[in-house]
Every structure is written in structure tokens, then in C-alpha cells.
């Protein structure tokens, strides 16, 4: 399941009709490219079937990417549970077959996964640590039809985002910064938080390397621009 970086082939948005609005054409997005990050952490992989609690594993502070797949017909719910007993983080809440990704900023410590599933599943966890040479500069155009991630990208302060979503459900776009803030804390930069079909623009602000996380319920496209 290693993936994934979408690279813009151009800046223009084309015209695919979306319920009275315009879905940005995928012709402006090149094919998905598999990339080997020079500073990528080892993958943590779990593969099984049915409801399972995994063995404990260790995470470091920082960006954490989780990719999952499931071929069952019923619930597929994945919780990231700290071994300390602190509140779990819901990673996936889907029904039926699923392929997607999410991300979070983890705190250092021991964790386990609590999986509710009725089919075969696979989960892959990585904590990328990119260098400036690894990161792509803006502009970038991203597209997909499931929850996904992309990066690393180099951000330089104020930026502009344009987004389209044609699904029925959440459309949430965040940027996870690789480095902690000046106070030693790290928080995602929320770009979009919408429900159902959406088309619009907004601004965001981030300095340094970051990873884009998209939670979507249907075809989506996002363009990120330096201001």
C-alpha cells in the first residue's frame, strides 16, 4: 500500500460538470507516483481478518500516516489506542469494502490498534521525516475519490487553497506540519471542513514541510498555491 504523491502538471482547472458547478478537471493532474522518501521511517504493517487487537508498537512524536484496506461487508472501525489508557483516536469508521488513508500528529509512546471488521484487512503505518530536498514546492493539484494523503510539500507562510467535493459526507482537508511550533506544540492547519457537495476557496498559513490529509466521501480535488 505504499503510495502516494500527486504532482500538478499545470495550474489550470478544467471543466467537468458537477451538479451545476465545475469540478476541476483531472487532466491537470499527472499520474500517481510511487516515491521512496530518503528519510522515510520503517513501515509498521498489520494484516489479519475479523475483529482484532494488535500487539503494541512504538510511535515517535510527529506526523503519522495510516493507510488501510478492508474487503468485508459490515463495519470497519480502527481505533489507535495509547497503551497508557488515554483516549483512543478514531482512524477509520466505514462500512463495507474500504481503501483509504488518514493522518495525525502522534505523541511519543506505545500504542495498539483495536479493529472491528468482518473481512480481510491490512493497515500500514509510517512516520515520514522529509528533508527540504524531498519536499515539493507549491503549486500542487491533488485529486482522488477516497480519503487520502499527499506530501511532503514545502510551505512558505500564507497560501490559498481551492477545493471541490462531489460526495455526500465529510470533506475535510488538513495540513500536518512536520516541525513543532515555537512553543514545542504541533497542531494541524485546517484548510476545509465541509459537508456534502462543495466548491470554494480559502487561505491557510504554514511554514516548513507539511503533509496534506483529505477526508472525503466522493470525488474531490484540491489546488494549493503560494500567496
Domain CATH for 144: 2.60.120
| Count of domains for the chain | 2
Which tops the pLDDT comparison, 27 or 86? 86
Flag whether 102 is in a domain: yes
Please write the tens of the pLDDT for every residue from 96-107. Answer: 999 999 999 999
Based on the fold, state whether residues 152 and 216 are members of the same structural domain: yes
Predicted local distance difference test score (pLDDT) of residue 20: 38
Based on the fold, state whether residues 218 and 142 are members of the same structural domain: yes
Last residue of a domain, one of 108, 126, 144: 126
Based on the fold, state whether residues 145 and 214 are members of the same structural domain: yes
Enter the pTM of the model. Answer: 0.84
Based on the fold, state whether residues 219 and 171 are members of the same structural domain: yes
By the 8 A CB rule, do 64 and 104 touch?
yes
Q: Taking the CB of residue 116, how many other CB atoms lie within 10 A of it? A: 15
Please write the tens of the pLDDT for every residue from 129-179. Answer: 999 999 999 999 999 999 999 999 999 999 999 999 999 999 999 999 998
Specify burial of residue 167 (Cβ count, 10 A radius: 0-12, 13-18, 19+).
Answer: middle
CA neighbours within 13 Å on the CB side: how many for 109? 12
Last residue of a domain, one of 85, 107, 126: 126
Full domain range(s) for residue 77: 44-126
Amino acid at each position: 500500500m505504499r503510495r502516494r504523491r500527486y504532482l500538478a502538471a499545470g495550474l489550470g482547472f478544467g471543466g467537468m460538470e458537477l451538479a451545476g458547478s465545475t469540478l476541476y478537471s483531472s487532466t491537470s493532474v499527472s499520474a500517481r507516483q510511487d516515491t521512496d522518501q530518503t528519510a522515510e521511517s520503517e513501515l509498521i504493517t498489520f494484516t489479519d481478518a475479523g475483529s482484532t487487537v494488535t500487539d503494541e508498537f512504538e510511535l515517535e512524536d510527529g506526523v503519522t500516516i495510516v493507510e488501510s484496506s478492508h474487503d468485508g461487508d459490515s463495519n470497519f472501525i480502527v481505533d489507535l489506542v495509547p497503551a497508557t489508557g488515554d483516549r483512543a483516536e478514531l482512524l477509520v469508521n466505514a462500512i463495507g469494502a474500504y481503501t483509504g488513508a488518514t493522518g495525525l500528529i502522534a505523541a511519543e509512546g506505545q500504542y495498539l490498534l483495536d479493529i472491528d471488521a468482518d473481512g480481510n484487512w491490512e493497515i500500514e503505518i509510517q512516520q515520514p521525516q522529509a528533508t527540504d530536498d524531498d519536499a515539493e514546492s507549491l503549486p500542487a493539484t491533488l485529486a482522488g475519490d477516497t480519503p487520502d494523503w499527499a506530501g511532503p510539500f514545502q510551505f512558505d507562510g500564507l497560501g490559498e487553497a481551492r477545493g471541490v467535493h462531489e460526495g455526500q459526507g465529510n470533506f475535510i482537508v488538513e495540513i500536518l506540519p512536520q516541525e513543532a511550533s515555537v512553543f514545542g506544540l504541533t497542531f494541524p492547519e485546517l484548510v476545509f471542513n465541509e459537508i456534502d457537495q462543495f466548491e470554494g476557496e480559502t487561505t491557510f498559513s504554514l511554514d516548513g514541510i507539511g503533509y496534506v490529509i483529505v477526508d472525503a466521501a466522493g470525488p474531490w480535488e484540491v489546488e494549493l498555491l503560494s500567496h
